[in-house]
Structure 1
Amino acid sequence: MSVTLRPAARAQAVPEDPIARLPAVVLGLCLALGAVLFWVPLRGVDMDGVDGYGLISVLPVPTLLGAGVLALTFVASLSLRRPVPVLLGAQIVVTVVALHTLAQVLEPVARFPTVWQHAGFIEYITRTGTVGISLDARFSWAAFFGMVGFLTEAVGLDDPGQVYKWAPLALQLLYLLPMALIVRVMKANWRAKWFAVWLFPVANWVGQDYLAPQAFGYLVYLFFLAVLLTWFRPKVLRTRKAGKRGTGTEPGPLYRFLFGPKTPGEEPVREVGARERSLLVLLLVVLLVVGTASHQLTPYLLIASAAALALVGRNELRALPVIGGVVYLGWISFMAYGYWGPDPAGTLFAGGGNPLQTFLASTTGRISPSEQLAQIQTARILLVLVLMALTAIGLLRRRLRGIDDRVAFVLLVVPLSSFGLQSYGGEIALRTYLFMLPGAVFLAAYAFFPDPRPVPVVKSVPRRQRLRRLLPGVVAGSFALLLMGGFLTVRYGNEAFEQVRAGELKAFDAMIDDSKGRPITLVWVSGEIVTVPEAASQTPQGPWGYRYFERFHWLRVEFAQDPWAANLSRQPPVPLTAEQQRSRRPTVEEVLARMRSQPGTYLYQSRTNDTYQTLNFGLAPDWGERLMREIDASPDFTKVFGDGDASVYKLAEPGPPPAPDPPPARLTIGVSNWTPAGLIYLPVLIGVLTARELRRIRLSPERYARLRPYTVIAVPLFIGFVAIVVERFLTLKGPLP
């Protein structure tokens, strides 16, 4: 039996011309070429040659060319007539792997000294089965450390070093999953969406993707936004309609731009069943709890984002910020009592209340005296300014097209409120930029591709119009090259003192073995000019405490001889000259006196800490080597360990053994008169508020009056809970029990 096809059916049955797939095939080959150029030359890189410019100072030119090919290939893929998801997805994955595993491939152990400090927290929890809240403030938010410890024990990992090393790659790939959900919310053409997803890992040079509560909290934050924006925006998106001036005159262009009718910048909400939406509400509450228990800053951003989205009509779960606030307040009051109990004013509010000062201290205030490192730090600021300028351009171009991008705008500006919180050890600007990225990458992509729907491709167009259509791709390619080069420069700009050498780990092992279970007082040399002793660094740059964290104590050796001692005694201190700065180093007598001040001391020296002191405090590059030569020649010291990466010394005539340390304070919530009532109010209040939101999603807006019984129960519970928190804060002060 023969079948006659209609013209339309015949057109659908004809296979696609292979020539039409040729550009995608060529771009795939270019992707492979870029990957080969990037990776193959890395075999000859000498990490000992890294200077103040970081990893960029030793990267081969072919590797840099390969990075450029990866960037231009992706932008060229955006010029295709229609998207090729396999090609675009492969390009993003290859780019993530290239950029975020570069140092891991070149270095033998996990980078970042902080990773190994976190390893110490995990080792302590798995070994003791508890937390030591008197050892470190981070033990008050120990859920992440406990989770990692449980997983490593469950799978039988005796040495989780490889997990620490490759965690950044795993986390960066996981970040793409919630971004894939968020990108489907935005009303934009496919070029803008794919470019935004590519920008996200390339603009994320902050370096907070190592195995840390912040990295895990950021993943929680992204999934929280993805679920909230995908399924809990109102079905009918409210946007600005034509305004009424009441003057009888025709509104001008500025009025129409600001207050004229706009189209929502988001697609309609996805419809799911009531049961699925109920489970998603419970998931959001769980994410709030997990984020709160894992990190100090993340829960604030979860709450603030949910509140801001509700305020602009893009979050129908209006009580979700209240639930988050109750969870956050309850954790601070009860579980983090060990953090604030001894000194509430000096911990909870340290550095807060002065956003401008906090902003300056965490940006320009962190510029190093080292010319090379200062250029890297300045480049970071310039990259942020370029990206923020593009977000403004993208917002303007979309606004001129009558599109209201309030979700992207909220995600961009809400993190700025973090500057009113703690200074976060001078890192709040980096953390703020990190949380701004989900909104920034969309608005930056709109700067090049602002139209909500792709412009149709017409084969026959005037030459001038053809060049005009090519212009966004050319400009986007230039920006992609700038961002790719900027990433390689600033992401690894601190590699001279952020890499961890195997010898440093062995040095701490040597101290642990030699001390035979006794407390260890580690003496180290610091070149930091200290005017406020409380603000001085208390530990060296290195993987300190990655095992037996609780046994270590720290003693700084500060440079106290003329001319800087007299100089620092002035108020305000007079800046040291460059020659004075470079000539500073302690004498053997100062080190010896410091070690004799306490029993059980070890002197620790490492190339990483020496480089850190040189680049951040202006010391001579060979100051550490000269000091160690003098110590080696002194009969008062005995070398415990030394391999070129690190050295450990102890006194040739050790004093009496140190007394055993008292056991660290374990988890305590503190008990006031009203604490038992608070422990009852907290779960009941969270349950009532959650039940209220579960009921809300099953009601239409005109039936919200049925939520009043939940409100009647929740309000007195909330007032009582807040009163209990205040009572605890006012009465539970002083040292930990």
Structure 2
Amino acid sequence: MTVRQEPEERARPLPRPSDVADRRATLAAAALLVFGTALFWSPLRHVDLGAANGFGLISVLPGATLAGAAVIVLSFMLTLALPRPHRVLLVAQILVLVATLHGVAQALEPEARFPTAWQTAGFIEYIERTHTVSWDLDARFSTPGFFAFVAFVMKAVGQHDISPVLKWAPPLTDLMYLVPYMLILRVLRATWRAKWFAAWLFIAANWVGQDYLSPQAFAYLLYLYFVAILVNWFRHHDERTQRPGRRRSPETAQRTGGLWRVYNWLFGPKDPGELPAPQASVRDRTILLCLLFLLILIGTAAHQLTPFLMTASCAGLVLVRRCSLRGLPFIAGVVYAAWVSFMTVGYWSSRKGELFGGLGNVFQNVQQSTGGRISQTSPQTADVQQLRIIIAVVVVGLAVLGLLRRRARGIDDRVALVLLLVPFSSFGLQNYGGEIALRIYFFMLPAACLLVAYLFFPAPFDAPRVRDPRVRVRLGRLRTGPRRHWPAVAAASVFALLLVGGFLTVRYGNEKYEQVRPSDVRAFDVMTQKTKGVIGVVWMSADNPDLVGGTPVMPWSYRDFERFNYTPVIASRSDPADLSEIIQRLREQGPGGFFVTTRSHEDFQVLTAGLAPDFAPRMRAALAADPRIETVYADRDAAVYRLRNPPAEPNPPVPKPSGLGLRSSPWTPAGLIYLPVLLGVLFARELRRLRLPPGETWRLRPLTVLAVPLFLSVVAVIVERFLVIS
């Protein structure tokens, strides 16, 4: 007797062996991710940060933690080796990577890391309390957009303690970076492996530490959205295969040889490295153009460097015909120049040498940003600094190789090339406190990570999945077949493992003195409680403060910003018990004078200025024993001292808010009229461009003729203000 089989059962296909293998490999990658995460985090509860040396956090990380990081990397690379993308697993792996690399220090330390993050808290607290700014207190009050925004949000939600936000801002910021970056990746002609590996590299290669709560982190997010909107919705719709170079005549088309091969490589037919531009309605593009203008305004009001790179990137994309908004660079440039001229006048009018002294000094800015930063450090700290330079050079070098490999396949990656080269133009500006090289690496990272991914996965598109292993499909220059991607994944895995190890070394290489301890914060609280007036903070410097840092490595001025004055005292290297200079500086500060030292600041002087390791303990012992000195607060991590009988003078009043320090010149009233009219004309010109069909841009000529004299007038006013006011 035979059993009749139902039609549904007969139609059910049997699982193919390749599908079963795919499912097993996916489960193995997920299991590796869970195992690596547990292996990384479990031993961290026993870590003693106080035992770190000049190599920073990696010197105290357990071996199991490092092995866990390697397993997490291998889990992601195994997922890349699968025949098709498993997006949920890939997203989970990138989230784990963010938490692992960018959240480990936050999990280990009780307070937010980076003393400069606490300065951000001081700016925010000042604006929230006074509802204004003071240009004479700090240059960053000249671009207060970010501080005012955070102060508004904090007050709106009724939150007055910013410490949790400071502490967990880095991993959250890095997650927010991925959203616009994925928007950029979606328009590129690349395989899914290249795109996901680029996103993974964007997290693993971002060791510069500019993701804490700060204007530059906020402005960088705006920059990524700015570029993402441009390359998604404002590219030319006539992008097509590049035709051969005009100089190649039919008679010479068949010639061969090394010279002609180079010529064909440069000027031969190339396919665009971006997918065809999507069609969008005029209404949608109008809204997006308004959003771009808003991003320019907010970015200009929030940070000094980012608006320049917004302008340069937009101009570069226009020049290579990857952006149709030809007038947008002029709009961004006018907004940036006008803000500097009108809104930051209180700062630049008296600091021309500081602001413009590095203008055009390319080689000097490069030297101060690279070798100049390691000339006075300890051997361990110098090794960390040199490794940072090596990683940056390797990433740039591999990016160039990836660009060349794609070009050899006949692909013209203009968007990636512009985004890679534009940040280097910043070398012609000021040295940015010796950090301009770090900022350039930071801004070129989106393009560099993409091009590095192209080096391993250069194909312009995914090949169809072939069921029959005997079948070979040739698509362009891409040959597909079983396990064809394994060599590339293996090579990428080696690079990924080295990069993660380098990240943990260089990102937290300064952790011995970059961590902020609760006693550091308590020391400044004590000073504000002991006096109601101006607080004169005296701090120890092993050398000229202009060489080793103009401010103490402490959470200084995280509140009551205007009450603090800072005076360095050069340490007497030969005799730590010589307190004469400290006492003299305290007398000069009057009744509000305090001498402050912290363990992080002392480690900074040892590692970066060559101070003897026992100098600070001997100095503290001398201060505690001196009858002229009173110990206000002291423990292992921080100490505050003051004179027992301080002089009554000087006793200066607490500075009142001074605003932006706006100033006028004879031509300023005219400039205030010309500027909004010019921006209105330029913006109307771009709105008009969106509604014109191809080939009718001549209709923009009336607005162009109107904009030219207005532009020249605004430039004349800006120059006149600079000459007259300064």
Secondary structure of the corresponding residue to residue 647 of structure 1: strand
1:184-234 CA deviation, whole Å, 9 max, x = no partner?
Answer: 111001110110011001100000000000000100000001000000000
Identity across aligned pairs (percent)? Answer: 52
Match 2:456 to one of 428, 433, 448:
448
1:380 paired residue number: 388
Q: Which runs of 5+ in 1 are unaligned?
A: 562-581
1:111-135 per-residue CA deviation (whole Å, 9 max, x = no partner) reads: 1000111111111111111001100
On the 8 A contact 1:131/1:667 being kept in 2, the answer is yes
- In 2, Cα distance between equivalents of 1:322 and 1:505: 46
Q: Secondary structure at the match of 2:536?
A: strand
Aligned to 1:587: 578
Match of residue 624, structure 2, among 624, 632, 653: 632
Deviation at 1:539, TM superposition (A): 1.8
1:394 matches 2:364? no
Aligned partner of 2:561: which letter?
Answer: F
8 Å CA contact retained: 2:469, 2:482: no
Amino acid across the alignment from 2:152: F
Does 1:111 pair with 2:113? yes
Distance in 1 (CA, whole Å) between partners of 2:487 and 2:22 is: 23
Q: Does 1:277 align with 2:277?
A: no
Any idea what SS the aligned residue of 2:632 has? strand
Question: Which one of the candidate residues 337, 343, 353 is aligned to 1:329?
Answer: 337
Partner in structure 2 of residue 508 of structure 1: 524
Question: Are 1:48 and 2:50 an aligned pair?
Answer: yes
The answer as to whether partners of 1:144 and 1:294 remain within 8 angstroms in 2 is yes
| 1:19-65 deviation per Cα after TM superposition (whole angstroms, max 9, x unaligned) | 54221111111111111111111111111111110000111111111
1:577 match: none
Q: After superposition, where does 1:693-712 map in structure 2 within 5 Å? A: 693-712=686-705
Q: Secondary structure at the match of 2:695?
A: helix
**Number of residue pairs the alignment of both structures matches:** 704
- Structure 2 runs not aligned, ≥5 long: 472-479
Please state how far the C-alpha of 1:239 moved relative to its aligned partner.
5.4
Match of 2:424 among 411, 416, 428: 416
Task: Tell me if the contact between 1:339 and 1:347 (Cα under 8 Å) persists in the aligned partners.
Answer: no
Indicate the SS of the match to 1:76: helix
Instruction: Tell me the CA shift for residue 584 of structure 1.
Output: 7.0
**Any idea what SS the aligned residue of 1:185 has?**
coil
**Do structure 1's residue 607 and structure 2's residue 623 form an aligned pair?**
no
Secondary structure in 1 aligned to 2:184?
helix
Residues 644-681 of structure 1 show CA distances to partners (whole Å, capped at 9, x for unaligned) of: 21110110111105131442422232111121121122
Match of 2:615 in 1: 623
Q: Quickly say closer, same or farther: Cα 1:460–1:702, change in 2 above 3 A.
A: closer
Which residue of 566, 573, 577 maps to 1:554?
A: 566
Post-superposition Cα deviations, 1:397-425, rounded to whole Å, max 9, x if no partner, equal: 11110000111011101100000001000
Match in the other structure for 1:522: 537
Q: How far apart, CA to CA, are the structure 2 residues paired with 1:123 and 1:209?
A: 20
Matched residue, 1:139: 141
Matching of residue 720 in structure 1 with residue 713 in structure 2: yes
Q: What per-residue deviation string (whole Å, max 9, x for no partner) do you get for residues 606-643 of structure 1?
A: 00110000000011112111100011111010011112
Structure 1 contact 358–419 (Cα < 8 Å) conserved: yes
Change (3 A) 1:19 1:465: closer
Q: Which one of the candidate residues 634, 642, 646 is aligned to 2:634? A: 642
| Matches of 1:186 and 1:246, distance apart in 2 | 29
CA distance, structure 2, for counterparts of residue 409 and residue 229 of structure 1: 13
Tell me the distance in 2 between the aligned counterparts of 1:662 and 1:84: 59
Give the drift of 1:324.
0.2
Distance in 2 separating the partners of 1:30 and 1:60: 19
- 1:545 maps to what in 2? 557
In the TM superposition, 1:3-42 aligns within 5 A as 20-42=22-44
Equivalence map 1:153-192=2 (5 Å): 153-192=155-194
TM-fit CA distance, 1:506:
0.6
Q: 1:702: how far off?
A: 1.1
Q: Would you say the 8 A contact 1:238–1:313 is kept in 2?
A: no
Q: What is residue 578 of structure 1 aligned with on the other side? A: none
Which residues in structure 2 correspond to 1:484-503 (within 5 Å)? Answer: 484-503=500-519
User: Do 2:594 and 2:642's aligned partners in 1 also have CA atoms closer than 8 Å?
Assistant: yes
1:223 aligns with 2:225: yes
Distance in 2 separating the partners of 1:650 and 1:717: 59
Tell me the equivalent position of 1:363.
370
Matched, 1:651 2:653: no
Aligned partners of 1:239 and 1:404 also within 8 Å? no
Secondary structure (helix, strand or coil) at the match of 1:669 reads: coil
Alignment deviations for residues 495-530 of structure 1 (CA, whole Å, 9 cap, x no partner) = 011110110111001001101x211111111002x3
Aligned to 2:475: none
Which deviates more, 293-302 or 376-385? 376-385
CA distance in 1, matches of 2:343, 2:229: 27
Q: 1:197 to 1:153 in 2, by over 3 A?
A: same
C-alpha contact 1:412 1:437 (8 A) present in aligned 2 = yes
Local SS of the residue matching 2:442: helix
| Contact 2:132–2:657 (Cα < 8 Å) also in 1 | no
What secondary structure sits across from 2:456 in the alignment?
coil
CA distance in 2, matches of 1:505, 1:340: 32
Per the alignment, residue 474 of structure 2 pairs with none
Q: Distance in 2 between matches of 1:380 and 1:295?
A: 25
Distance 2:668 2:433 in 1: 31
Find the aligned partners of 1:153 and 1:504 in 2 and give their Cα distance. 26
Corresponding position: 1:120 with 2:126: no
Which amino acid in structure 2 is aligned with residue 139 of structure 1?
F
Q: CA offset at residue 534 of structure 1?
A: 5.8
Q: CA deviation at 1:77?
A: 0.7
Greater shift in the superposed pair: 706-715 or 186-195: 706-715
CA distance in 2, matches of 1:142, 1:323: 21
Q: CA deviation at 1:10?
A: 7.3
Instruction: Describe the shift of the 1:246–1:662 C-alpha distance in structure 2 as closer, same or farther (beyond 3 A).
Output: closer
Q: Tell whether the 8 Å contact from 2:577 to 2:622 is kept in structure 1 after alignment.
A: no
For 2:546 and 2:492, the matched residues in 1 are separated by: 47
- Determine the C-alpha separation between the residues in 2 that align with 1:465 and 1:586: 75
Aligned to 1:576: none
Task: Please tell me whether the aligned partners of residues 44 and 61 of structure 2 are also in contact (alpha carbons under 8 angstroms).
Answer: yes
Give the Cα separation in 1 of the matches to 2:301 and 2:570: 37
- The residue number in structure 2 matching 1:209 is 211
CA distance in 2, matches of 1:491, 1:696: 46
Q: Which amino acid aligns with 1:356?
A: F
Deviation beyond 4 Å, 4+ runs, structure 1:
2-5, 9-19, 455-459, 464-469, 533-536, 582-586
Name the counterpart of 1:240: 242
Alpha-carbon distance, 1:597 to partner: 2.5
CA distance, structure 2, for counterparts of residue 639 and residue 76 of structure 1: 59
Residue 283 of structure 1, CA deviation: 0.4
After superposition, the Cα gap between the structure-2 partners of 1:167 and 1:235, relative to the gap in structure 1 and judged at 3 Å, is: same
Pairing 1:685–2:678 present? yes
Counterpart amino acid of residue 523 in structure 2: A
SS, match of residue 149 in structure 1: helix
2:354 maps to 347
Q: In the aligned structure 1, how far is the partner of 2:725 from the partner of 2:204? A: 46
Aligned ranges 1:315-326 → 2 under 5 Å: 315-326=323-334
Within 1, Cα distance between the matches of 2:303 and 2:6? Answer: 66
The verdict on how the C-alpha distance between 1:409 and 1:683 changes in structure 2, with shifts beyond 3 A counting, is same
Aligned: 1:84 with 2:86:
yes
Residue 352 of structure 1: SS of its match in structure 2? coil
Cα distance in structure 2, aligned partners of 1:551 and 1:318: 48
TM-score, structure 1 as length reference = 0.92
Shifted more, 346-355 versus 720-729: the winner is: 346-355
CA contact (8 A) 1:496 1:611 kept: yes
Separation in 2, partners of 1:226, 1:175: 11
Once the two structures are superposed, what CA deviation does each residue of 1:456-511 show, in whole Å capped at 9, x if it has no partner?
5656479x997864221111000000011111110000101111011011100100
